[in-house]
Amino acid sequence: MRRALPIVVVLVVLLAAIAVVNPFFLEPAGFLGFLKRAAPLVILAAGQYFVIVSGEFDLSVGSLVTAEVVIAARLIDGDESATWPVLALLIVIGLLVGLVNGVVTTKLRVPSFIVTLGMLLVLTGAVFLWTGGAPRGALSEGFRMFGRGGLGPLPWSVLILLAMGAAAIWLTRTDFGRTLIAVGDNERAAALSGVRVDRAKIFAFMLSGLAAAVAAVLLGGFAGVSAQAGQGLEFSAITAVVLGGVALGGGRGSVPAALAGAFTLEALFTLLNLYGISGALESTVQGVIIIAAVAAGAVRLPWKFTPRRGDAHAAS
């Protein structure tokens, strides 16, 4: 938890700044609204955490979210009874995409940056090829409920967020979680000490795929069918994880910090909006803050991609 402290302090400062301009933010409804809005990004960040801490990247999550929303709309086509089977299928697709990413990365030894970049292109192309260029069909009310509705005053997305967050934290406490950090820290050493490196990494990618599937359900539910539901989310998710002090290159980081990073990013967007910084300059401020936060947090961050097992210099 100590690692999460600095980012939590930043988060609290941002939240306080939001509350100053918008007192409604302090009321339960206002705060829950913020959590609900942040949920997809936070869940994606949790998934991305596992991939990054094992020393890899997942650039395919944004396109996976879009693909899942478009697939859901076409398959459900407004039919309530199709909701649950399609939800199950979405989860399977998410896991499957993660599996392919993981297997190609580990077994074929292609850098994950390239694998997931390729996956991004394939997913975007394939899904729109299938639907003829633009989304078809419609989501059912049952599907929309997860992003729009709630259990009493509690939005479903906040409950799902809590469940996913708790599961992610639990996973890091298991052998798998520790193994993953060891793999990201020193792949060669981990392999020599008997860790099944490939299996751990493949599992990490599948978690990221799963997170993308859940995020897609929430986003599709919240805002409906859109051809650009997941646009740019891969960079936001990676940025969020890095803001939480998780080292790109692997071996260092914690889930609570990564989640806090995602909340911080969302709070930053909200704040920039509230203070009315023009749409254009918003990205400039965002860029400066991201660099400053990472620079301040980096005592000795490795700036290079971790050597892969296949590379000769991994030995040295």
Scanning residues 68 to 97, which ones bind other proteins (CB under 8 A)? 73
Q: Which of residues 230-249 bind other proteins (CB under 8 A)?
A: 231, 235, 238-239, 242, 247-249
Q: Quick one: 174 or 273, whose CB is closer to other proteins? A: 273
The least distance separating other proteins from the CB of residue 20, rounded to whole angstroms, comes to 9
Segment contacting other proteins by CB under 8 A, of 42-50, 165-173, 180-188, 216-224 = 216-224
Q: Which of residues 108-137 bind other proteins (CB under 8 A)?
A: 108-111, 113-115, 117-122, 124-126, 128-129, 131-137
Q: CB atoms < 10 A from the CB of 87, how many? A: 18
**Binding residue for other proteins (CB under 8 A) from 89, 99, 154, 286?**
286
Instruction: State which amino acid sits at residue 205.
Output: F
**What string of DSSP letters covers 75-110?**
HHTT-GGGHHHHHHHHHHHHHHHHHHHHHHHHHS--
Q: Per-residue string for binding with other proteins, 3-42, x by CB under 8 A?
A: ---x--xx--xx--x---xx-x-----x--x---x--x--
For residue 277, the surrounding DSSP H or E stretch is: none
Establish if 219 lies at the interface with other proteins (CB under 8 A). yes
Q: Quick one: 16 or 88, whose CB is closer to other proteins? A: 16
Q: Quick one: 81 or 129, whose CB is closer to other proteins? A: 129
* Bridge partners (DSSP) listed for residue 155: 150
Among 32, 28, 39, which residue's Cα sits nearest to residue 220?
Answer: 39
Instruction: State which amino acid sits at residue 220.
Output: G
Q: CB atoms < 10 A from the CB of 315, how many? A: 8
Establish if 284 lies at the interface with other proteins (CB under 8 A). yes
Q: Per-residue string for binding with other proteins, 155-194, x by CB under 8 A?
A: ----------------------------------------
Which phi-psi region, left, alpha or beta, contains residue 109 (left: φ > 0; alpha: ψ -120 to 50)? left
Establish if 282 lies at the interface with other proteins (CB under 8 A). yes
Who contacts 120 (Cβ-Cβ below 8 Å, separation ≥6)?
59, 60, 62, 63, 234
Q: Quick one: 171 or 251, whose CB is closer to other proteins? A: 251
Establish if 295 lies at the interface with other proteins (CB under 8 A). yes
Do the Cβ atoms of 61 and 282 come closer than 8 Å? no
